[in-house]
Amino acid sequence: MKFEHLVQINDLLSPTAPPLTRNQVWQGLVYRAESPKEFVEHIDEAYILHRHEQGIHRRVIMGKLEVIDHIYYEYESAVHYDTQPSDLHLGGKLWMKIEEPQEMALFVRFIYETPHPEDADPELDKYLSYLKSAWQEADIDTIRLIKQLAQEGRLG
């Protein structure tokens, strides 16, 4: 299954909210990868297992679920998660791509790919619909928190 959506960062028509720079959005997306407990409240533990030139490998524990992510950074452009499958998790991929169709008109495109079939049975289809909605809400919350971190001066 593939699911994608776009979240607006800067509203150029609203002068009340200070606009974020591309670098601030980038730093926020990297911060989400490296400090996931600040973005997802039901994470019990999160460890960076290995740091390399292109990104990190991390382990996240949520109750009985343990997730291993290989996360790759494309400077000021994208963060790509490759989640390994396990007995309790099918694995999948997530891309967070910064888009700027005009100067300071920043968006983040979230793209999810999972091994779930596109033409699922009705019960699975209900679950997948719920999953897509949950992802979208979580991504909106991610951007909200990135804006807050920027206002607090924590993102450069």
Residue 156 within a domain: no
pLDDT score of 37: 96
3-state secondary structure the chain: CEEEEEEECCCCCCCCCCCCCHHHHHHHHHHHHHCHHHCCCCCCEEEEEEEECCEEEEEEEECCEEEEEEEEEECCCEEEEEECCCCCCCCEEEEEEEECCCCCCCEEEEEEECCCCCCCCHHHHHHHHHHHHHHHHHHHHHHHHHHHHHHCCCCC
Residue 126 within a domain: yes
- Residue 72's identity, in one-letter code, is Y
**DSSP β-ladder status, 92-99 and 78-83:** antiparallel
Query: Using CA of residue 154, residue 156, residue 29, residue 34, what is the dihedral sign?
Result: negative
Q: Tell the residue number behind the tokens 């609203």, with chain if given.
A: 14
> What does the alpha-carbon distance between residue 24 and residue 19 come to, in Å, rounded to a whole number?
10
pLDDT score of 13: 84
The total domain count for the chain is 1
pTM for this predicted structure: 0.93
pLDDT score of 30: 98
Residue 145 within a domain: yes
pLDDT score of 127: 87
Per-residue pLDDT of the chain (156 residues; tens, 9 = 90+): 999 999 999 988 877 878 999 999 999 999 999 999 999 999 999 999 999 999 999 999 999 999 999 999 999 999 999 999 999 889 999 999 999 999 989 999 999 999 988 776 888 888 889 999 999 999 999 999 999 999 999 997
The torsion angles phi and psi of 109, rounded to 5 degrees, stand at -95, 120
Residue 103 within a domain: yes
Q: Which domain holds residue 112?
A: 2-151
Residue 106 within a domain: yes
pLDDT score of 14: 79
Residue 139 within a domain: yes
pLDDT score of 116: 85
Domain with residue 96: its CATH number is 3.30.530.20
